[in-house]
Amino acid sequence: MNYMLANMLLAILPMTRWFGLKRRILRALGIVIADGASVCGHVRFYGAGQVTIGQDTWVGPATEFHTASGADITIGDRCDIAPGVAFVTGSHDMGDAHRRAGRDIAASIAIGAGTWIGARAMILGGARIETGSMIAAGSLVLAKSWPANTLLMGTPARAVRQLDGGQ
């Protein structure tokens, strides 16, 4: 995957136009992106893992995908990702006083179909958000499996309400 080239091209292409061209470029550079997905400008990809973006998903400007080897990010179909959202698969175990950032660790992130993620939310490695959920702006979602149709809010995020699961 040539994320550096993808980042350069997304920085110069129009912010909310030419989505078909962006899909073709991103596919050619190793990102799995379904038909109808729209990736806005200034989206950034980093790391060694795979990013998969589902059909008819909107990825807002300045979203960041940070992957690690063996720790992928999968976004389902019909998701809406607001500007400035960060997906971060890697972290560290806590080290000793000599160096608090200990051994590298990483875990995949999975976002279920139909999920809406508010502006500047951060999703950490190991988070699995089931279908039809909503993450409030500015929330920090920790490594956990979250049930379908749940409103997550806060830092750290907590389930504050069950949403209607109807069509």
Order of strands, edge to edge, in the sheet holding 134-135?
A: 38-39, 58-59, 80-81, 116-117, 134-135, 150-153, 158-162
In whole numbers, what is the pLDDT of the chain averaged over residues? 96
Supply the pTM of this predicted model: 0.95
Question: Would you say 62 and 55 are in contact if contact means Cβ atoms under 8 Å apart?
Answer: no
Question: Would you say 74 and 111 are in contact if contact means Cβ atoms under 8 Å apart?
Answer: yes
Could you give the dihedral angle defined by the CA atoms of residues 93, 110, 20 and 30, in that order, rounded to the nearest 10 degrees?
A: 50
Distances (CA, A) of 62 to 39, 40, 58, 163: 10, 8, 12, 28
Considering only CA atoms, which of 72, 97, 101 is closest in space to residue 87?
Answer: 72
> Residue 162 — very low, low, confident or very high, per pLDDT cuts 50/70/90?
very high
Continuous segment of H or E residues that includes residue 138 = none
Tell me the residue type at 19. F
Q: What pLDDT does residue 159 have? A: 98
pLDDT tens digits, 46-95: 999 999 999 999 999 999 999 999 999 999 999 999 999 999 999 999 99
> Residue 1 — very low, low, confident or very high, per pLDDT cuts 50/70/90?
low
> From start to end of 20-83, where are the E strands?
32-33, 38-39, 44-46, 51-53, 58-59, 64-66, 73-75, 80-81
Locate all alpha helices (DSSP H) within 29-73, ordered by sequence: none
Percent of the chain with pLDDT over 70: 98
Residues in the chain: 167
pLDDT tens digits, 20-32: 999 999 999 999 9
Percent of the chain with pLDDT over 90: 93
